[in-house]
Amino acid sequence: MITYLENSKQFQLDTDNSSYVMQVRDGFLLHIYYGERLNVTDHSYMRWEQGRAAFSCRLEGCQGFILDDTPLEYPCFGRGDLRSPALEIINPDGTNICDLRYVSHKIIGGKPGLPGLPAFYVEEGDRASTLVITLRDNISLVECDLYYTVFEDYNIISRHTVIRNCGEKPCHIKAAASACVDFDHMDFEVISNYGTHCRERMIERFRLNHGKFELASRRGSSGHVHNPFLILASPTADEDHGEFYGDLLVYSGSHAITAEGTQYNACRLLAGLNPDGFSWKLEQNGEFTTPEAVLCYTDKGLTSLSHIYNKAINDRLIRGKYKNARRPVLLNSWEACYFSFDEARLLKIGKCAADLGIELLVIDDGWFGKRNTDNCSLGDWVIDRKKLPNGLDNIYKMLKENNCGLGIWFEPEMVSPDSDLYRAHPDWCLHIENRPRSEGRHQLMLNLSRPEVCDYLYDSIAKILDSGMISYVKWDFNRNMAEVGSEVLPPDRQGEVSHRYYLGLYSLLERLTQSFPEVLFESCSGGGGRFDAGMLYYMPQTWTSDNSDAIERLKIQYGTSLVYPMSAISAHVSASPNHQTAHVTDFATRFTVAFTGSFGYELDPTSLSEEEKLLVAKSAELYKKYGYVLVTGDYYRLKTNYEEDCAAWCAVSQDRAVCVAGYVNTHVRLYDKNQHIRLKGLDKDTAYKDIFTGQTYSGAQLMGFGLPVKITLEYRSQMWILEKA
């Protein structure tokens, strides 16, 4: 619900559990409150008063406040607010001052889309409405439309900004955040994430200090290092109690989310495009739309914040056939055979997989061009007839006869210098004239800001998919941007290339996913290097990490689950010893960890013992029956190996009739106390039966005393599936 109070010039935005209040004062749009839902709408007493100056300037006409300590909804550079700006404009005269004042507002039902950008959406019947507030600099004639969409049922508020040049001369945007929230205190702890390839989304929690903490990427992708979400927590808050604020950016490129502790002990939270290396030229009447940021508040703990984001992403970001649907159990060929395969080997692997109940065989890298190593052929999306003399026909036919689908790997955004495409179009890659072209993994990046490049990729991929044989695509992206330039853009537009790249990518993905709605697309970037809400709009799941080791995956999947739903987390059972870490883990542990996501296998089934094959068949059967609990249920983090020598979790179906729980020992201490894993989310008055042992428990027992852990060995696990008796 959105309410405007004319007397106090205040806006109140209400979800079921939160309120967000703003006020127009002396022309400025001030932030007043964001937190627990307010059951009244008269907030006339809630005024920002500030008498301190501390070398800061007072603006004429501003009574009782100075910009440097006033909570603003969209602060600008150059007028006296010396904190980090949401907007910085380079005016036609070369100055960078901007002074946005309130002009008008409107309230509309539903939510408008963001042209060319991924975004959360509304469906018919949703309790959702949008407030659009227009601000203007009356000298430069730059206007900003601030969009606030209130998803009442989902307890989120989405924000984006449209910047418009109403002047006669061009200006340049230097920084453009999607959202700003100014808090009147800085009594927060920051929950941040960091990582690298094969170690994504490690979690850190620390006190917000004075100065600026920045979680950012300059890589031309959301990256392995800092995923585009940040959480602020009250200092004593934990999984089940306390206040949490979330800020999630719906974008896949270079980003910046900052939390700034100010000289007056306040906090500014900013999220949007990374301003480093960015600029955007606005001609007369030109417009620029920022990516979307999604805000969330809860006073019921971190689990509550996760549930809010998880459900909103599942219901109002992910689209298509696989929205809220169990994904097929797949086997990927990469760790089974890498580049070393031919038709005969794939037929053997595929037949064995199908016999074990696997529903999809994915042919990973190596099926095209002359691709026997990673140093050639990217861009030449033509089947290698030496490896596959019959194309995909024989493999597809065999799989279909055995009720198994066929998937395939692409890395469309890249080009190998040793490729027919590069020899024909060396100008199609990102590069700067007269400078060397840096290769990463022996490849260059195509310039997707050029429409002809996107058209070529669409035609090449569509030619493969038009065969009707492919039901799954793994879309990879294996390097970062460098030499970000485009010879088709003039010098004063070179700062636009990185963002235009993503507009091109999003357009390409929209065309492909709309043209082939039956195909399941999975995003990948050396694992989780582009695991973000922007990609999930087009592809409902992401290969979470190239590290498939079960023990390493515990922290990776823990960090990912803070915001992203388990339906989006691709998790596979791989070989033992693991190919990345050489850890030796038993099948049960590998299965227990992989079961928590979109489930599959990353191994050669023909090399397994008969006992292991029976375990594969049984695990596939279990996921087919109970995988929906991970897709649509509520996920609870019970223990974490950040704090203990174990990890434990459970997922509970929406009707609370089924619970899947897991526990893994990560370190053994002699004479340690016996563990009891207390579950969450159950109906205390319901009786639950363990399908493996037949033991029956009450929900109250399971949540009060818990399940006894009977394992004592390192890297061993225990799994429970509990059904309503």
> Measured between alpha carbons, how far is 284 from 125 in angstroms, rounded to an integer?
39
> Measured between alpha carbons, how far is 54 from 654 in angstroms, rounded to an integer?
54
Residue 329 token pair: 């159990």
CA-wise closest residue to 478 among 543, 381, 568: 543
Task: Using pLDDT thresholds of 50, 70 and 90, give the confidence band for residue 54.
Answer: low
Q: What is the mean pLDDT of residues 702-716?
A: 94
Please report, as a single letter, which amino acid is at residue 283: E
723: left (phi over 0), alpha (psi -120 to 50) or beta: beta
Residue identified by tokens 């890659």 is 429
Distance of CA 254 to the CA centre of its chain: 13
First vs last Cα of the chain: how many Å apart?
Answer: 41
pLDDT exceeds 60 at position 724: yes
Mean pLDDT of the chain: 96
Q: What is the DSSP pairing of strand 717-724 with strand 444-445?
A: unpaired
Looking at CATH, the fold of the domain delimited by 330-632 is given as TIM Barrel (3.20.20)
pTM check: above 0.95: yes
CA-wise closest residue to 13 among 163, 128, 144: 128
* Contact status, residue 81 vs residue 101, Cβ threshold 8 Å: no
Q: What is the DSSP pairing of strand 569-574 with strand 598-602?
A: parallel
Lowest mean pLDDT among 52-61, 219-228, 546-555, 613-622: 52-61
- Please identify every residue annotated as catalytic: 476, 546
- For 231-278, the pLDDT digits (tens) are 999 999 999 999 999 999 999 999 999 999 999 999 999 999 999 999
* Contact status, residue 296 vs residue 305, Cβ threshold 8 Å: yes
Q: What is the DSSP pairing of strand 156-165 with strand 287-289?
A: antiparallel
Nearest 10 degrees: Cα torsion 149, 145, 280, 440: -10
- For 413-448, the pLDDT digits (tens) are 999 999 999 999 999 999 999 999 999 999 999 999
> Measured between alpha carbons, how far is 100 from 41 in angstroms, rounded to an integer?
26
Task: Using pLDDT thresholds of 50, 70 and 90, give the confidence band for residue 69.
Answer: confident
Q: What is the pLDDT of residue 52?
A: 60
> Measured between alpha carbons, how far is 68 from 65 in angstroms, rounded to an integer?
9
> Measured between alpha carbons, how far is 143 from 145 in angstroms, rounded to an integer?
7
H-helix or E-strand spanning residue 457: helix 451-465
Q: What is the pLDDT of residue 53?
A: 59
Within 13 Å of residue 175, how many CA atoms lie on the same side as its CB? 25
pLDDT exceeds 90 at position 39: no
Each residue of 78-107: b (16+ CB within 10 Å) or e?
bbbbbbbbbbbbbbeeeebbbbbebeebeb
- Residue positions counted in the chain: 725
| 638-724 carries CATH number 2.60.40.1180 | yes
DSSP code, position 119: -
> Measured between alpha carbons, how far is 475 from 492 in angstroms, rounded to an integer?
33
> Measured between alpha carbons, how far is 405 from 390 in angstroms, rounded to an integer?
18
Rounded to 5 degrees, what are φ and ψ at 81?
A: -85, 110
Domains of the chain, by residue range, sit at 2-316, 330-632, 638-724
- Class of residue 44 by CB neighbours under 10 A (exposed 0-12, middle 13-18, buried 19+): exposed
Q: What is the pLDDT of residue 63?
A: 63
DSSP code, position 650: E
Q: What is the pLDDT of residue 497?
A: 99
Q: What is the mean pLDDT of residues 150-161?
A: 99
> Measured between alpha carbons, how far is 218 from 212 in angstroms, rounded to an integer?
17
- For 374-404, the pLDDT digits (tens) are 999 999 999 999 999 999 999 999 999 999 9
Query: Cα separations (Å) of 267 from 83, 147, 246?
Result: 10, 22, 14
Q: What is the pLDDT of residue 43?
A: 72
Q: Is the dihedral of CA 559, 531, 316, 36 positive or negative?
A: positive
pLDDT exceeds 80 at position 674: no
- Class of residue 389 by CB neighbours under 10 A (exposed 0-12, middle 13-18, buried 19+): exposed
Task: Using pLDDT thresholds of 50, 70 and 90, give the confidence band for residue 68.
Answer: confident
pLDDT exceeds 70 at position 689: yes
Class of domain 2-316: mainly beta
- For 589-631, the pLDDT digits (tens) are 999 999 999 999 999 999 999 999 999 999 999 999 999 999 9
* Contact status, residue 92 vs residue 171, Cβ threshold 8 Å: yes
Quote the longest CA-to-CA distance of the chain. Answer: 82
Nearest 10 degrees: Cα torsion 655, 657, 658, 659: 80
Q: Is the dihedral of CA 460, 544, 298, 212 positive or negative?
A: negative
pLDDT exceeds 90 at position 49: no
Residue identified by tokens 């800061």 is 56
> Measured between alpha carbons, how far is 381 from 367 in angstroms, rounded to an integer?
9
